């Protein structure tokens, strides 16, 4: 039978996280939901363990690792809910996590998606993210990372959702083409949020819904390549050409800063950044096709989009992202 909400948990070798995550999801005060467990070809026995311990889940088994966004899309094809709730495997959720988000979307039709208060798993007095802050060049930052939790339950209009956990209306996710399949690691939340805004929807953080996340701020060359490749493509397929011309000084400044960041951290980071730049040529057909799709769902101007984004960078997060 169809459920109101579909929780999609994407697993790849997530054995250490399974019990805390799935057990907490199954203890929700909200009952009209299903759990779809997507396995991305794990090799650690986690799929076997999950099937044995949680047999009532819906299992979707991929024969290769499709990444987080690809896993969400695999789960989406099996979901019955009008609301879709992607959730990281390395989390634990509070009992009213789902009910608070569903209630908010029910009561606020202008909202396309909501994201919970995400606290650090090992220090639950501190914030991992109250949604995302998104720079106008497509860089995403955790809102209030490391700040003390003030226990507020007042919803806030925020630039973007946290990819760790959010609830989105199914029809909207499908209209934008599903989760961004090209995002194997990271940046999927920025792109989903950016497109939501471009479609004219608002995004809220609902702190009454709480998630505890095993989070570590880090960067490596592969992640830098993926983030930059997808960020650059997003700007080209979503923004109008005149906007790119007007904002080119800001875009060029951020590009120079990222190249400088890569230069400081070694050849592997430089190769990653320049590889991402080269991808603009190799992926030009994809960018062209994506542009046609995105312009069809656009309902607001670039100017209105930028009013919901940020003009400042969060340097504290920029300079603490190297996993030595």
Task: From residue 296, give the alpha-carbon distance in Å to each of 37, 195, 222, 305.
Answer: 32, 11, 32, 16
Question: What gap in Å lies between CA 145 and CA 127, rounded to an integer?
Answer: 5
pTM equals 0.95
Mean pLDDT for each consecutive 10-residue tract of the chain (324 residues)?
93 97 98 98 97 97 95 97 98 98 97 98 97 97 96 96 97 96 87 98 98 93 94 96 96 95 94 96 95 96 96 81 44
> Which phi and psi angles does 28 have, rounded to 5°?
-65, 145
Which tens digits make up the pLDDT trace of 187-237? 899 999 999 999 999 999 999 999 999 998 889 999 999 999 999 999 999
Tell me the pLDDT tens digit for each residue of 287-309: 999 999 999 999 999 999 999 99
Three-state DSSP at 227 gives: helix
pLDDT at 86: 98
133: its two tokens: 């802050």
Residue 178 confidence (pLDDT): 96
- Rounded Cα distance between 180 and 177, Å, is 7
3 state SS of 168: strand
Provide the pLDDT for residue 23: 98
Q: Looking at residue 2, what is its pLDDT?
A: 85
Per-residue pLDDT at 323: 44
End-to-end CA distance of the chain: 49
The Cα–Cα gap between 311 and 10 comes to 33
Q: Which helix (H) or strand (E) holds 6?
A: strand 5-11
The domain spans of the chain are 5-213, 221-318
DSSP codes of every residue in 145-167:
TTPBP------EE-SB-BTTB-E
DSSP-derived secondary structure for 37-89: EEEES-SSSHHHHHHHH-TTSEEEEESS--HHHHHHHHHHTT---SEEEEEES
State the architecture of 5-213 in CATH terms. Alpha-Beta Complex (3.90)
């Amino acid at each position: 039978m169809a459920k109101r909400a579909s929780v999609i948990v994407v697993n790849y070798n997530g054995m250490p996280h399974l019990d805390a995550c799935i057990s907490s999801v199954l203890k929700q005060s909200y009952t009209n939901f299903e759990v779809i467990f997507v396995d991305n070809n794990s090799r650690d026995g986690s799929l076997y363990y999950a099937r044995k311990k949680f047999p009532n889940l819906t299992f979707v088994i991929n024969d290769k690792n499709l990444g987080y966004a690809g896993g969400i899309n695999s789960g989406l094809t099996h979901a019955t809910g009008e609301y879709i709730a992607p959730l990281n495997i390395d989390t634990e959720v509070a009992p009213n996590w789902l009910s608070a988000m569903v209630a908010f979307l029910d009561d606020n039709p202008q909202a396309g998606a909501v994201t919970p208060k995400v606290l650090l798993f090992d220090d639950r007095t501190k914030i991992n993210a109250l949604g995302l802050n998104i720079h106008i060049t497509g860089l995403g930052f955790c809102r209030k990372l490391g700040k003390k939790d003030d226990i507020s339950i007042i919803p806030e209009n925020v630039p973007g959702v946290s990819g760790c956990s959010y609830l989105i209306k199914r029809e909207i996710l499908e209209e934008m083409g599903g989760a961004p399949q090209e995002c194997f690691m990271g940046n999927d939340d920025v792109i989903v949020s950016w497109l939501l805004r471009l479609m004219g929807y608002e995004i809220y953080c609902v702190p009454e819904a709480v998630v505890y996340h095993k989070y570590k701020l880090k960067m490596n060359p592969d992640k830098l390549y993926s983030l930059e490749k997808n960020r650059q493509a997003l700007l080209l397929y979503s923004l109008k050409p005149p906007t790119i011309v007007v904002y080119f000084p800001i875009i060029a400044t951020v590009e120079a800063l990222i190249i400088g960041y890569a230069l400081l951290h070694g050849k592997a980071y430089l190769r990653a950044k320049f590889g991402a730049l080269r991808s603009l040529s190799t992926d030009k057909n994809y960018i062209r096709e994506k542009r046609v799709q995105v312009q069809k769902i656009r309902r607001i101007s670039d100017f209105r989009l930028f009013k919901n984004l940020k003009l400042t960078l969060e340097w504290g997060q920029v300079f603490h992202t190297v996993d030595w």
